[in-house]
Chain A
Amino acid sequence: MSEKLYAWLLRLYPAHFREEYGDEALRLFRDRARDERGFFPRLRLWLDLFVDFTISVPREYLHVPAPRVAAAAPPRFNGLPAFYVLQNESPRPAALLFGGALSLVALTTCWVSLNEAHNISNSAAPPFAGARNYQEFSRSSRSESGQTAPRYASSHTARTTAQPGTPDLSERSRIVESAIANVKEHYVDREAAQKMADALAMHEKRGDYNAVADPAAFAALMTQHLREVTPDRHLTFDYFEEPLPPPTVAQGAEVSPQYREAMKQQNCTFEKVEILPRNIGYLKLNSFPDPDVCRVAAMAAMTYVNHADALIFDLRDNRGGSAEMVQLIGAYLFDHPEYWYNPREATSAQSWTQSPVPGSDLAGKPVFILTSSRTISGAEQFSYNLKMLKRATLIGETTAGAAHAGVFHRLDDHFGMGIPEVRAINPYSDGDWAEAGVAPNVQASADAALDIALKLARARLAKK
């Protein structure tokens, strides 16, 4: 049995070796197997053979046997291409099989590692995108309150940090200090802010942060310590592997020319505005763009679908954006003002939709929203409000779960905090979609969501 196995394994060697020494090798194996009986000697024999194979098989493939007799060089034909190969025999089935298995292993490894990388970048992307959104949102709240002072920890913004993954201890303590200062200055509840600041200082003094090498784990621990004092899911301490964009204090409320140009090129991210068969309006919207730039585009899109009998908002690729735009589009769907929950704004007269929108016929029409696990931030706010108001049927996957309710504060190139500065009234429940995401009414894979929505819309219209 073991001799047969060894004879089979010998096929791993190239033909020139097998021809020359195959029989000898097999005989040597037979001799050793005869002399080395018992469990341990046999085990040692196979271990020896394993080592022998791993060393000598690759070596033999690299070796070209010296010709026993000098061969005449093959004649070359003029004008014909000539190819030189290391071995003039075609590969054996065993070699092909071996090669196939090796390629499969390599491909699997590649695939797994690529997947890993993809997961990592995916998990890093939303908060990063969120960081930009925070800034976008804080801009609107600033302009309303008239506050123009920089909201960043000024002593740290200009400084570049060490490489990600290796913030040294002194840096750690500076980040903790900066976090304490920001919480005390900005958190909506002064008393809780003081308690959180004390807790962070206590953990810092005890050296709890020194032991955590991984910056993401450090950020998670900070968040945990903050929430132990105040269970507020809008309060976050975040680590960003990619360096955060430099603070843009001077730009204030102005929309950047780059953003304006990008929106122009992308039709304000209204990817599709169509009337589908059975007069079903379909809007594929990939962000909620700033109304300063895109108000006309949004109004045109809503006007285009104004006479549809049902409406599908495809937010599966929507990355959020301006809360003002979220509310502006939502307003078309009601014939009276509705309270519109925005975790980032204190409840005010602005918290009601400007409904009815003159000329809008959409108020009573069935609305469907397609969601995916990538649907995030402003798109979640849109979905959440319409779901809670029972104004839309959500179809697809639970959304990403980023409320970004806190105003973003950049602590340095890699760390930032989301600190809620206002109290918004959530009339539906204590928790919004922060971290949990918005659950759909009809759970389905993102890919299947459109078909299901069309089916439901047709069924609803048929009842009429």
Chain B
Amino acid sequence: MPKRTLDPLPSAAFQILLALVGEDLHGYAIMRQVAEQTEGRIRLGPGTLYSSIRSLLENGLIEELDAREDADTGDERRRYYRLSSAGRKLACAEAQRLADVLRVARAKKILRGRYV
């Protein structure tokens, strides 16, 4: 069986890539970041989160760092994840694709009354 395909990029995987832009995060921090950037619409459960993380790792889109303690709380050693350059490129391409979709939607005026 081939590796799980990320084309098209699932929404959870895209959100994880976005969450990792700018800083390295552990699992729970990713989950919170995703919830924050989607205004609570997406709350990743452990199964979905780690299965997405694994796919991203297998496809070289993120990297796993050596386990270390949480800088803020100082408790427990956790695995941290970092966006790879391939991951950044893919996130960029996906954002561009969505921007194109958004442009079309705007042109068709289906976003009436809302500034997006």
Instruction: Report the minimal beta-carbon distance from B36 to chain A, rounded to whole angstroms.
Output: 13
Instruction: Report the minimal beta-carbon distance from A5 to chain B, rounded to whole angstroms.
Output: 14
Q: Choose one: A20, A27, A44; the contact of B54 (CB below 8 Å).
A: A20
Measured in the bound complex, the distance between the Cα atoms of B1 and A66 in whole Å is: 9
The answer to whether A17 touches B45, judged by C-beta atoms less than 8 angstroms apart, is no
Instruction: Report the minimal beta-carbon distance from A91 to chain B, rounded to whole angstroms.
Output: 18
B58 proximity list for chain A (CB < 8 A):
66
A31 proximity list for chain B (CB < 8 A):
28
The answer to whether B47 touches A32, judged by C-beta atoms less than 8 angstroms apart, is no
The answer to whether A17 touches B46, judged by C-beta atoms less than 8 angstroms apart, is no
A262 at the interface (CB under 8 A from B): no
The answer to whether B46 touches A25, judged by C-beta atoms less than 8 angstroms apart, is yes
Contact with A along B36-53 (1 / 0, CB 8 A): 000000011111111101
- Contact residues, B21-75 vs A (CB, 8 A): 27-28, 31, 43-51, 53-54, 58
A26 proximity list for chain B (CB < 8 A):
46
Residue of B nearest to A31 (CB): B28
Measured in the bound complex, the distance between the Cα atoms of B47 and A60 in whole Å is: 9
Measured in the bound complex, the distance between the Cα atoms of B75 and A258 in whole Å is: 89
Q: Choose one: B4, B45, B76, B78; the contact of A49 (CB below 8 Å).
A: B45
The answer to whether A21 touches B54, judged by C-beta atoms less than 8 angstroms apart, is yes
B88 at the interface (CB under 8 A from A): no
Measured in the bound complex, the distance between the Cα atoms of B53 and A17 in whole Å is: 12
B50 proximity list for chain A (CB < 8 A):
17, 20-21, 24-25
- Contact residues, A24-48 vs B (CB, 8 A): 24-29, 31-32, 44, 48
Q: At the interface, is chain A mostly helix, strand, loop or mixed? A: helix
Instruction: Report the minimal beta-carbon distance from B40 to chain A, rounded to whole angstroms.
Output: 10
Interface size class of A (residues with CB under 8 A): 20 to 34
Measured in the bound complex, the distance between the Cα atoms of B47 and A17 in whole Å is: 9
B53 proximity list for chain A (CB < 8 A):
21
Could you tell me how many residues of chain B have their Cβ less than 8 Å away from some Cβ of chain A?
Answer: 21
Contact with B along A42-70 (1 / 0, CB 8 A): 00100011011101110110111110000
The answer to whether B28 touches A28, judged by C-beta atoms less than 8 angstroms apart, is yes
The answer to whether A32 touches B54, judged by C-beta atoms less than 8 angstroms apart, is no
Instruction: Report the minimal beta-carbon distance from B27 to chain A, rounded to whole angstroms.
Output: 5
Instruction: Report the minimal beta-carbon distance from B7 to chain A, rounded to whole angstroms.
Output: 16
Measured in the bound complex, the distance between the Cα atoms of B47 and A26 in whole Å is: 10
B51 proximity list for chain A (CB < 8 A):
17, 56, 59-60, 63
The answer to whether B78 touches A27, judged by C-beta atoms less than 8 angstroms apart, is yes
A49 proximity list for chain B (CB < 8 A):
45-46
The answer to whether A52 touches B3, judged by C-beta atoms less than 8 angstroms apart, is no
Q: Choose one: A28, A44, A57, A60; the contact of B31 (CB below 8 Å).
A: A28
The answer to whether B78 touches A55, judged by C-beta atoms less than 8 angstroms apart, is no
A462 at the interface (CB under 8 A from B): no
A120 proximity list for chain B (CB < 8 A):
none
A55 proximity list for chain B (CB < 8 A):
47-48
A349 proximity list for chain B (CB < 8 A):
none
A313 at the interface (CB under 8 A from B): no
B78 proximity list for chain A (CB < 8 A):
24, 27
Residue of B nearest to A53 (CB): B47
A48 proximity list for chain B (CB < 8 A):
43, 45
**Given A63-B4, A66-B3, A66-B58, A24-B27 contact (CB < 8 Å):** yes
Residue of A nearest to B4 (CB): A63
B48 proximity list for chain A (CB < 8 A):
52, 55-56
Extra 20 A-B pairs, beta carbons < 8 Å, given A27-B78, A52-B46: A13-B47, A17-B51, A21-B46, A24-B27, A24-B50, A24-B78, A24-B79, A25-B50, A27-B28, A32-B28, A32-B31, A48-B45, A49-B46, A52-B44, A52-B45, A55-B47, A55-B48, A56-B45, A60-B51, A63-B1
B residues apposed to A, CB below 8 Å:
1, 3-4, 27-28, 31, 43-51, 53-54, 58, 76, 78-79
Question: What would 25 A/B residue contacts be, using CB atoms closer than 8 Å?
Answer: A21-B50, A24-B46, A25-B46, A25-B47, A26-B46, A27-B27, A27-B78, A28-B27, A28-B31, A32-B28, A48-B45, A49-B46, A52-B44, A52-B45, A52-B46, A56-B48, A56-B51, A57-B47, A59-B51, A60-B51, A63-B51, A64-B1, A65-B54, A66-B58, A86-B1
List the 10 closest pairs (A to B, CB-CB), nearest first: A52-B45, A56-B47, A25-B46, A21-B50, A31-B28, A64-B1, A52-B47, A28-B46, A28-B28, A56-B48
